[in-house]
């Protein structure tokens, strides 16, 4: 049996050390709105916020998930506000990915 706080975090101690004790219920977060759109690099999806308590406030109701299968062992995802451009910290060693999605992946992605 689990105990959930007002903010939606549930606490359920488990004997298995690989299972997190604190988690959010399935009614918390975002849901995929429509279908995943395949891209050359991976996929994109529009996510709509579920009506659950806010953790930090000023939540964005609709966000864009952009995913890239960059290499066999590297998956990159980015969540952005599709309506408002926001500042992103520049990084001198990280450039935009240019290329088709990798194949023979060593990981799986479930959305």
Q: Is 67 exposed, middle or buried (0-12, 13-18, 19+ CB in 10 A)?
A: buried
Give the per-residue pLDDT at 61: 94
Within 13 Å, how many C-alpha atoms sit on residue 103's CB side?
1
Mean pLDDT by 10 residues, the chain (111 residues): 62 74 75 94 95 81 96 94 90 83 93 84
Give the per-residue pLDDT at 1: 53
Give the per-residue pLDDT at 97: 85
Q: Where are the domains of the chain?
A: 28-80
């Amino acid at each position: 049996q689990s105990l959930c706080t007002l903010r939606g975090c549930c606490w359920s101690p488990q004997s298995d050390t690989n299972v997190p004790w604190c988690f959010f219920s399935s009614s918390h977060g975002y849901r995929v709105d429509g279908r995943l759109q395949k891209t050359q690099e991976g996929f994109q999806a529009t996510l709509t916020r579920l009506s659950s308590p806010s953790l930090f406030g000023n939540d964005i109701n609709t966000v864009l998930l952009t995913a890239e299968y960059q290499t066999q062992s590297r998956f990159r995802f980015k969540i952005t506000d599709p309506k408002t451009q926001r500042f992103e910290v520049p990084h001198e060693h990280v450039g935009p990915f240019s290329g088709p999605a990798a194949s023979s992946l060593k990981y799986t992605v479930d959305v």
